[in-house]
Amino acid sequence: MKKQRKVILVGNGAVGSSFAFSLLQNMSSVELVVIDINKEKTMGDVLDLQDVTPMTGSSIVRAGTYEDATDADIAVVTAGVPRQPGETRLDLFKKNTNILKAIVMPIVNSGFDGCFVISSNPVDVLTTITQHLSGFSKEKVIGTGTSLDSARLCVELALKLNVLVSEVKNAYVLGEHGDSLFATFAEATVLGKKLSEIAALDKKSLQKLEESVRKRGSRIIDLKKATHYGVAVCLMRICKAILTDEEIMLPVSAPLVGQYGQKGIYLGTPAIIGTGGIKQVIEMQLVPAEFQKMKLSADKMREVLVSLE
């Protein structure tokens, strides 16, 4: 029997379980091992997810331990304290950094040699820390980054212009997955037209759209206490690209090694993802004001990282 591609999931909360469900719906044959300190809930979710597999392919779902990472292709980390109403993602960093340290090293010590995919917040900081802790090459550590924010931008544009979201292309959010994120509209198109050609969107309208994206996560948290469906699908798309060598371009927490004048940190920018992780980091052409916004995001990340030393 052909060996299935293997994913371990650490963290079976709202994001983790939503990711597991999405992965099984979009990959017909995968082995998914779920790890969480809440053994009872994890087993309940495993049994529930196993019921999905006859209708989606030949996947295997089971509960496991860090030792299961030995021959895994991907380690997905969603574990952490969730963001509370009124709390920023950066407020979480000390709590979740300690949790991350207790996860990454057992995975590495198991002999794991796959890719880390991180969604725990603050994701850019925790992705950077994961790379430092693991000692893995930068391309094998990826964070969800601004993939969710870029999806939100497409939604906001579609709602504003009353078009199908599938008609919005190349609209990206860059920088921190957090308060210093910013949208770049230069390459964005709607119904095949550049945004600059659409009279309904002047500079003030674009600024309002960016602010709507920035506040969208907090709005969801205020209404239902958590966001999980969107980021779960972002995780699925990243993992599917790695498992199938799709070589898709996605805005993720990617390692900057000179792009945008930055080095040594992960920030949101488009990257090509396939087997082995990040195959190429794409540096978008930014106007001077956007370049400064990227620098602001980088400065904020460094302030947080220095505080951990």
Which positions are annotated as active-site residues? 177
Task: Judge whether 66 and 7 are in contact, CB under 8 Å.
Answer: no
Q: 3-state secondary structure string, 242-296?
A: HHHCCCEEEEEEEEEECHHHCEEEEEEEEEEEECCEEEEECCCCCCHHHHHHHHH
Handedness of CA 121, 175, 296, 196 (dihedral sign): negative
* 199 DSSP 8-state letter: T
Task: Judge whether 89 and 83 are in contact, CB under 8 Å.
Answer: yes
Q: Helix, strand, coil proportions of the chain in percent (round to 5)?
A: 50, 20, 30
d(CA 39, CA 166) in angstroms, rounded, equals 40
The dihedrals phi and psi of 191, each to the nearest 5 degrees, come to 55, 35
